[in-house]
Amino acid sequence: MNKQILFLLFFLISFNSTSQVPTNTISIIPQPVHILKGTGHFTFPKEVLIHAPDSPELVKTISILSERLSLPTGYQVSSANSSNGATIKLLLNDSDDSQLGKEGYTLSVTHTGIKIKANKPAGLFYGVQTLLQLLPSQIESKVLIKNINWVVPIVEIQDFPKLGWRGLMFDVARHFFTKDEVKQYIDAMSKYKYNVLHLHLTDDEGWRIEIKGYPKLTEIGAWNVKREGEFGDFIPPLANEPRNYGGFYTQEDIKELVRYAKDRFIEIMPEVDVPGHSLAAIASYPELSCTPDAVNYKVRSGEKIMDWSGGATPKALLDNTLCPANELAYSFMDSVISQLATLFPFEYIHLGGDEAPINFWQKNEQIKALMAREGIKNSTEVQGYFTRRVEKIVESKGKKMMAWDEVLEGGVSPTTAVMSWRGMKYGIEAALNKHEVVMSPTTYAYLDYMQSDVISEPRVYASLRLNKSYEFEPVPEGVDPQYIKGGQANLWTEQVYTIRQAEYMTWPRAFAIAESVWSPKDKKNWPEFFSRVEEHFKRLDFSETKYSPAVYDPIFKVGKTSDNKLTIDLSLEVEGLDIYYSFDNSFPDRFYPKYMGTLTAPIDAKQLKLITYKDKVPVGRMLTMPIADLKRRARL
């Protein structure tokens, strides 16, 4: 009898006895492929024994599980030499279960113990993450929790990922995050079965990785003048202001981060963004540019360097590109790529390729000579020439190149993998042309976007709410799925100064992306998903991880009456909430007027204050919306 029949038999036997178990007793993110709930619970003994195969790849998994169990419970957790009598058994299958693949697992909780089985150590690690999510939310605490029963429900789970690439991009270039902060980010993403950390290591604001032979990259390129406010509109630094804000990772730091991630079955993909977004490199080594004035350039501190008024193609106010007609740029890239290939075992190196301005190229004599010599027709093809040359360097180091979707426009080898960020259409185009594709569209997966109204978020040019992120489907209809490697969410950090704000911008939207890249499409259900998200809010509280409550914030829609009075309509992402409001400058609670339909602003009102409640408990933030702002939106 095969495993699928056994699984179905368990379901048929269990159905009558489990039908009355509340649906919210198990809140796992991402949602497993199959969950069969039984009756009752397994109670952890005060001496927990873990049995696991003798494998170097599992040493850290056992250590993580032991620490996660012992800290909040105070229980003694130790390894068992034999599976007999073990509380938790981690077992590798004698022969591979083809359905589980390399990352799948089965988890069985009975009244007598817990068993996790997988084909490979990665599957056991993911099974451990699921087991921890079956425990009470207090298991996330870093300190002892008293007077609690540590139990898990009786359950059978079979689980495996939909996609092989489940990524988060962390921009450490715009603002530097320490090695320990990156580890903190890795810890959080590992709990939700992410397996790729894309590190954006270089940009106009900083070069964050030590490159032997190019010491100025970190002596000069890693530092700028700290500015706070709205990024992009900062006052340009004065000559006498100290450039002491920033930092970088030594090569030993990188090796440590790679090991740390690998222990959690996460690969780190480095990105060096070229030929655009390269001001930090050019400020360090002006000879990499074609523009003579580059000798005066400084690492950007957030002042305006691009004019976006013309649309999607930026006009550079200074030349932040490596020069495609400059052979020094290619010897530089050869050295950088060679060292990246040595430091990062992952098969891909990301070389950016996005938002490269062409206005300096158009008037440059070296570029014109290159175009004449190579038969290049326009500036877009100039970037294509650069991309193909650096791709050959990547391949010479035994790696594969990945780049943002703009590289499609200049012509690129089919062996280049494409990360589609400007919506889904470029990923579809790339897949139809047989490129490997990772979908990371702004539409669903840009974590730097505001999560709520601008009155409550750091101002960014777009917004992305949780329910929209949950709509992400990385494998579009009509595309051969073999070319869709997976999906990814991107956290750009222009407006993110601290790891706390990085957490706030990541969670809970990264829950939605995790489910989109792991769980079967037919398992996705927004109301049910959000009920699980609320349970994980409790977990984040206990782990002292910051997250955004923006999902509870009202959405504003304004209009005007025939006699030019302001009207305000409010809506919510989730059901079951009540909105209370005031126009009199006082702070509303649930004894104030409840929103029941369109509001008309009183003639002299200066602000609208709102708060959301659920079951008589405030869950939303107290929001203050200036009436003048609403009038501007209504064009009054």
Q: Write out the catalytic residue numbers.
A: 203, 277, 355
Count of CA atoms in the C-beta half-sphere (13 A) of 629: 10
| Residue 588 preceded by cis peptide, ω within 30 | no
Report the b/e string of 69-103 with b at 16+ CB within 10 A: bebbbeeebeebeeeeebbbbbbbeeeebeebbeb
Asked whether 254 and 289 are in contact (CB, 8 A), the reply is no
Distance CA 431, CA 437 (A): 6
Residue 355: CB atoms within 10 A of its CB come to 17
Distance CA 430, CA 436 (A): 7
| Residue 314 preceded by cis peptide, ω within 30 | no
The backbone torsions φ and ψ at residue 489, rounded to the nearest 5 degrees and listed phi first, read: -105, 145
Which helix or strand (DSSP H or E) is residue 551 part of?
none
Task: Report the first-to-last Cα separation within the chain, whole angstroms.
Answer: 72
The pair of three-digit structure tokens given for residue 193, joined into one six-digit string:
């079965």
| Residue 275 preceded by cis peptide, ω within 30 | yes
- H-assigned helices in 375-438: 379-396, 425-432
Closest by CA to 290, choosing from 216, 353, 366, 380, is 366
Distance CA 561, CA 568 (A): 10
- Report the amino acid identity of residue 5: I
Closest by CA to 491, choosing from 470, 504, 505, 501, is 505
Distance CA 97, CA 380 (A): 48
Q: Where are the beta strands (DSSP E) in 121-256?
A: 151-159, 165-171, 196-200, 202-203, 206-207, 223-224, 245-246
